[in-house]
Amino acid sequence: MDATNETDDAGGTRAAIMDATYDALRKHGYADLTIQRIADEFDKSKSLLYYHYESKDDLLVEFLDYGLERFAEQVAIDPEAEPDEQLRTFLDSLVPESLAEDRHEFHVAFIEMRSQAPFSEPYHEQFTKSDAFIRDTLAEIIEDGIERGVFREVDPMEKAELLVTITTGAMVRRVTTDVGDGMAAVRRAVDDYIESELLVAE
Amino acid sequence: MDATNETDDAGGTRAAIMDATYDALRKHGYADLTIQRIADEFDKSKSLLYYHYESKDDLLVEFLDYGLERFAEQVAIDPEAEPDEQLRTFLDSLVPESLAEDRHEFHVAFIEMRSQAPFSEPYHEQFTKSDAFIRDTLAEIIEDGIERGVFREVDPMEKAELLVTITTGAMVRRVTTDVGDGMAAVRRAVDDYIESELLVAE
């Protein structure tokens, strides 16, 4: 086995562990999750799991980090698109109009994990990191829009802080209340916001 | 004992139970809370607690409802104030610039309870109710501002949905991340929003 294959195998194993974690989280939620339940979703040697992770929370913090990496890869912003279009596409990926059942189950577990952050430094760090990633991505799009003369001379970081707060609130409201038409209203209000607060008047 | 005194006593006992619940929640958080721990904070007969509430979640749902009632009483909007001032005062009460330690501890427990809503119909109903109260209060202020010619002809419910989403997101981000200057930035961005999206241009 050469070095490349070794890395591939390690990457493949990590991806398989992360997939098993996703499936177990969806099925059992955070509170009832155990390493054994993750192992039950895992095709390869179970001992690998116990070897790599001391606790379920160790594994879940890595899972959140892996999820953030994947998200960052997937949302690669199209630099050719107009800045307001880039912003809408990015916000759509965070606050979709509706959620498929498996994504809904995952969001439920995500909010449960987030509620543990005040009690756990690794979770706290991880959610700080994911919030910062989203905020910085939004700020970059806004900054680029200002440079291109499409957006007004606003404070990019301030507007980005507001938008990341909206995406967080939307995710929480969606899974914890009967939000009904509320999510569609939030999206319309965000579109109005981009138009009236960011875009240079025609 | 006449009927009035009986009602007073019942009200006093309920308030004392709710105070004890607040103190126990702050100290232990949601997950480690037990009826016994609430009883430990309670001066009156402990058996009263066990008599009135079958489970900790029964008690906590009533506690959330009681908190919403108190909040509704306390934030009585000053009808003499300008609509934008009413809006800022109401939003200040939901997203204060900083939180005293006891309020921070309570917000932590509040987010933990909120994360349980997907698994518990009574919590789900209660958070739907509190979101609706905040949204409707915001919508009324906006509607009144439109009637008074101070706010533009916006859709009050749509803007209210956005604002309640911002308050939810701010509360969650504050206790689950190192939000740093982010909270001040969110407040500035909300002020800008009221100015540019709601107020009629001078």
Find chain A residues with C-beta within 8 A of B185's C-beta: 155, 157-158, 161-162
On whether the CB atoms of residues A23 and A41 are closer than 8 A, the answer is: yes
Q: Please tell me the predicted confidence (pLDDT) of residue B1.
A: 39
- Whether chain A has a CB inside 8 Å of the CB on B167: the answer is yes
Q: Please tell me the predicted confidence (pLDDT) of residue B8.
A: 58
Cα B18 to Cα B30: distance, rounded to the nearest angstrom: 15
Global pTM? 0.92
Please answer yes or no on whether B172 and A168 come within 8 Å at the CB atom: yes
Find chain B residues with C-beta within 8 A of A158's C-beta: 185, 188-189, 192
Q: Please tell me the predicted confidence (pLDDT) of residue A62.
A: 94
The mean pLDDT of B125-152, rounded to a whole number, is 96
Q: What percent of chain A has pLDDT over 70?
A: 95
Q: Give A52-65 pLDDT, tens digit per residue.
A: 888 899 999 999 99
Cα A35 to Cα A25: distance, rounded to the nearest angstrom: 11
Cα A54 to Cα B17: distance, rounded to the nearest angstrom: 41
- Whether chain B has a CB inside 8 Å of the CB on A97: the answer is no
Q: Give A136-195 pLDDT, tens digit per residue.
A: 999 999 999 999 999 999 999 999 999 999 999 999 999 999 988 889 999 999 999 999
Cα B190 to Cα B166: distance, rounded to the nearest angstrom: 9
Tokens 């195998």 sit at which residue?
A: A9
Q: Radius of gyration (Cα) for chain B, nearest Å? A: 19
Nearest to A118 by CA among B96, B71, B113: B113
Q: Radius of gyration (Cα) for chain A, nearest Å? A: 19
On whether the CB atoms of residues A105 and A47 are closer than 8 A, the answer is: no
Nearest to A163 by CA among A93, A67, A82, A81: A93
Phi first, then psi: give them for residue A145, nearest 5 degrees: -65, -35
Q: Largest Cα–Cα distance of chain B, in whole Å?
A: 62
Helix A156-176 vs helix B156-176: crossing angle, to nearest 10: 100
On whether the CB atoms of residues A163 and A95 are closer than 8 A, the answer is: no
Cα A108 to Cα A25: distance, rounded to the nearest angstrom: 9
Smallest CA–CA distance, residue B60 to chain A, in Å, is: 16
Q: Which residues of A160-177 are buried (b: 16+ CB within 10 A; e: fewer)?
A: bbbbbbbbbbbbbbbbbb
Tokens 């160790």 sit at which residue?
A: A58
Q: Give B78-134 pLDDT, tens digit per residue.
A: 889 999 999 999 999 999 888 899 889 999 999 999 999 999 999 999 999 999 999
- Whether chain A has a CB inside 8 Å of the CB on B170: the answer is yes
Smallest CA–CA distance, residue B25 to chain A, in Å, is: 14
Neighbouring residues of B74: CB distance < 8 A, sequence distance ≥ 6: B93
Q: Please tell me the predicted confidence (pLDDT) of residue A7.
A: 54
Whether the predicted pLDDT of A18 surpasses 70: yes
Could you tell me the two tokens for A151? Answer: 């957006």
On whether the CB atoms of residues B36 and B28 are closer than 8 A, the answer is: no
- Whether chain A has a CB inside 8 Å of the CB on B57: the answer is no
Q: Give B9-64 pLDDT, tens digit per residue.
A: 677 888 999 999 999 999 998 988 999 999 999 888 788 888 888 889 999 999 99
On whether the CB atoms of residues A166 and B162 are closer than 8 A, the answer is: yes
Q: How many CB pairs under 8 A join A and B?
A: 136
Q: What percent of chain B has pLDDT over 70?
A: 95
Whether the predicted pLDDT of B7 surpasses 70: no
Cα A65 to Cα A75: distance, rounded to the nearest angstrom: 15
Neighbouring residues of B95: CB distance < 8 A, sequence distance ≥ 6: B166, B167, B170, B171, B183, B186, B187, B190
Residue of B152, B157, B162, B181 to mutate for A, most A C-beta atoms under 10 A: B162
| Cα B181 to Cα A125, B174, B177, distances in angstroms | 16, 10, 12
| Closest residue to A159, CB basis, from B127, B157, B189 | B189
ipTM value: 0.92
Find chain A residues with C-beta within 8 A of B29's C-beta: 118-119
The mean pLDDT of A86-92, rounded to a whole number, is 93
